[in-house]
Amino acid sequence: MTEHAAVRVVVADDERMVRSALRAILDAEPDLTVVGEAATGAEAVSAVRELRPDVVLMDVRMPGIDGIRATEHILRTLEVPPRIVVVTTFENDAYVYAALRAGAAGFLLKRADADALVQAVRMVVRSDTLLYPAAVRALAEAHAAAAAPAPPWVARLTAREGEVLRLMATGLTNAEIALRLGVGSATVKTHVAAVLAKTGARDRTQAVIAAYEAGFTKPAR
């Protein structure tokens, strides 16, 4: 995607009216365009392969291949996968947590207003902040497994990388983290890359989920 190109979106939901509503909202924005729709997880996978969108709005509960398995397949098989935002009715849904662990960049409630939808798509494309950090924290508190020995990556983090990870969990952008720590944005970007590599995370959301599950960032079970 070039600097001035519209963000390309695929909408996957088994309800045609939901797809139509999401399309209408997104297509009304000059920097966003819906390039395809899907009614099942299998159709979502096919649409992503054919259309190569930047973002997928993925319903988690669809017939056949559900949104979680579709998300896993897309992220596992595409060299440059899109950012996937799970669209759900219930924010405390175990399905949503499973999708985030699988690599979804965030989630959005179906009752969210148009401004929240548009902001969410723009935020995940920017990818230097966490989408709805308080909601991710609540999901981790509700669904993270019981306490276990800290995984090896915890010991491999430097003190500064640990600071950066904890600040990532609060939803700060790279620029905001840089300001908080008194360092340059490029330095923060390097630390974020190191955190992702050491945690084995695809993106910030997966890294933060891993931090909650390891007890590195509170709350954790």
Structure-block tokens of residue 198: 């050491």
- Residue 146's pLDDT is what? 61
Predicted confidence at residue 155, as pLDDT, reads 94
Q: What's the DSSP call for residue 170?
A: T
Nearest alpha-carbon partner for 202 in 127, 137, 141: 127
Beta bridge partners of 108: 87
So what's the pLDDT on residue 158? 97
Q: Which helix (H) or strand (E) holds 23?
A: helix 16-27
| % of the chain exceeding 70 in pLDDT | 94
Q: Is the pLDDT of residue 16 over 60?
A: yes
pLDDT given for residue 4 in this prediction: 64
Q: What is the pLDDT of residue 28?
A: 96
Query: In this predicted structure, what is the pLDDT of residue 131?
Result: 85
Q: In this structure, what token pair is assigned to residue 21?
A: 């509503």
- Looking at residues 61-68, what average pLDDT do you find? 87
Of all helices (H) and strands (E), which one includes residue 172? none
| pLDDT confidence of residue 164 | 97
Beta strand pairing status for 83-88 and 55-59? parallel
Q: Is the pLDDT of residue 220 over 50?
A: no
Sequence spans of domains, the chain:
7-127, 147-213
**pLDDT band at 188, cuts 50/70/90?**
very high
Class of domain 147-213: mainly alpha
Structure tokens at 185: 């944005």
Segment 69-80 shows an average pLDDT of: 93
List all residues 6 or more positions away from 79 whose beta carbon is below 8 Å from its beta carbon. none
pLDDT of residue 221 exceeding 50: no
pTM: predicted TM-score of the whole model, two decimal places: 0.86
- Comparing 18-22, 88-92, 130-134, the range with the smallest average pLDDT is 88-92
pLDDT, tens digit (0-9, with 9 covering 90-100), for 126-172: 888 888 888 888 888 887 766 667 899 999 999 999 999 999 999 99
Q: What is the mean pLDDT of the chain?
A: 90
Q: Please give the CATH superfamily to which domain 7-127 belongs.
A: Response regulator (3.40.50.2300)
Q: What is the mean pLDDT of residues 3-8?
A: 80
Q: Which pair of structure tokens corresponds to residue 125?
A: 């494309």
2 pLDDT higher than 50? no
